[in-house]
Amino acid sequence: MTTPAAQAHYSTVDITLEDIGHGGIAIGRAEGKAILARFGLPGERVRVALTEERARFARGDVIEVLGDPSPYRQAHPWLEAGPGGVGGADLGHVVFDYQHEWKTRVLSSTLRRIGGQSLSDHLETQGIVPAVTALESDRASGGWASRTRIDVTVTSGRFGMFREGSREVLPITSMPLAVKEIAELGLWDGSYLTRLARSLGPLRDGQRVRILAPSASPVAVSLGGRTFDATGAESSPFVREEVRVGEENYRYRVRASGFWQVHREAPATLIDLVTRAAGAEPGDHILELYAGAGLLTVPLARAVGATGRVESLEGARTAVEDARANLRPYPWARARTATISVRDISDADILLADPPRSGLGIAAARAAAASRARRIVLVSCDPAALARDVAAMVESGRSVESMRAVDLFPNTHHFEVVTALR
């Protein structure tokens, strides 16, 4: 296999890949230096085009498999996101049924490497075997056509994305990660930009654009603080989402430019995992950190009822405005803007935190562990931050009750983990 995306000006190295690392990489060695290669699989003999060289390691993309390919390799369905191309599908070369095994290896090794042997021993004592599971709804499509939100950049009258590891914008002609409602907009042949220009005039290069397909309102396009519909006409800045979990139905109003989970099944999956982990009861007091627009706040408010209390904190003012709108039926739940720090960790029956990729941090994790919460629920999108934060809480006397990892980002190296501690 030789990829057409190989870039001739890069130097190359031939190596045997031996292991998997976090970040969608396979690892080999050359002349005593670790080679971190995207688009490879363990056991393969490959040629790597180097994109970055440091004293102790180098990064690059596999541009040719020199021997027999791994049985877990497939032709990448989106060549523009392959070697030398845009980011967004760094596991597209891995067959779907092996992607969650890849991520399980990353999760297990990161917990051991960052969390230390004591955390590994603790999890074993608790009977917890970390594993990343795939969503059954993704199996038929291989995880493609699952994203309800995509971010692109204008370049020379087209939409594009950043070349992996750079600020160079490459025009794209397809987006197989997106749901069909987005794919049908005519985004990649320039026709939608033509429609949009009737309202805005020509878009400047470098302008960021978000395209979204909400579950309960029409497709929308957000740019420059304004929102447009499929025809290019200006529309409401808000979209509607409905999430069904079992017999419960939750409704949300969300700013088109704001944060919402990108996988079509992610909202329901996270509500289910978090509410089970929290075990909230009527009358409970819940403190929620990094609450966003209230995706998890609404079901938790419903769970504790009018005799309970939910206090949600979020750093983004516009997200708090959305959360307040979503919480109007639940006056016992309150959302406020806060630059979240250790000072905001107060006593509650249940403490829930869904921090950004950087995680809670050791100081906040220790403060959470020292609180009087009977249960702490941590939602993590980075395994290294997860391992550090959970290890800090275990060292501070907490015990892990459960750890559920789910692949909400198929064909990428990302995944989500929900951990409950008592």
Residue set of the binding site for S-adenosyl-L-methionine: 261, 290, 314, 354
Sorted by sequence, the CB contacts under 8 Å of residue 226 that are 6+ apart come out as 200, 234, 237
Cα separation of 286 and 308, whole Å?
A: 8
Per the listing, tokens 């408010």 go with 301
**Is residue 241 a contact partner of residue 215, using CB atoms and an 8 Å limit?**
yes
Handedness of CA 290, 295, 300, 301 (dihedral sign): positive
172 SS3 class: coil
Q: DSSP letters of 272-341?
A: HHHHHHH---TT-EEEEES-TTSTTHHHHHHHH-TTSEEEEEES-HHHHHHHHHHTTT-TTEEEEE----
Per the listing, tokens 């002609």 go with 173
Cα separation of 270 and 277, whole Å?
A: 10
254 is catalytic: no
Handedness of CA 3, 9, 10, 13 (dihedral sign): positive
Antiparallel, parallel or unpaired: β 158-162 and 248-255? unpaired
Q: Which one of 381, 386, 393, 394 is the catalytic residue?
A: 381
**Is residue 99 a contact partner of residue 47, using CB atoms and an 8 Å limit?**
no
Nearest to 299 by CA among 322, 325, 280: 280
**Is residue 386 a contact partner of residue 418, using CB atoms and an 8 Å limit?**
no
Sorted by sequence, the CB contacts under 8 Å of residue 257 that are 6+ apart come out as 210, 222, 225, 227, 237, 318
**Is residue 170 a contact partner of residue 80, using CB atoms and an 8 Å limit?**
yes
Cα separation of 112 and 132, whole Å?
A: 16
Cα separation of 180 and 144, whole Å?
A: 10
Classify residue 237 by burial, with Cβ atoms within 10 Å: 0-12, 13-18, 19+: middle
Binding-site sequence positions: 261, 290, 314, 354
Per the listing, tokens 């497939």 go with 74
- What are the tokens at 57? 């390691």
DSSP character at residue 148: S
Q: Which residues are catalytic?
A: 381
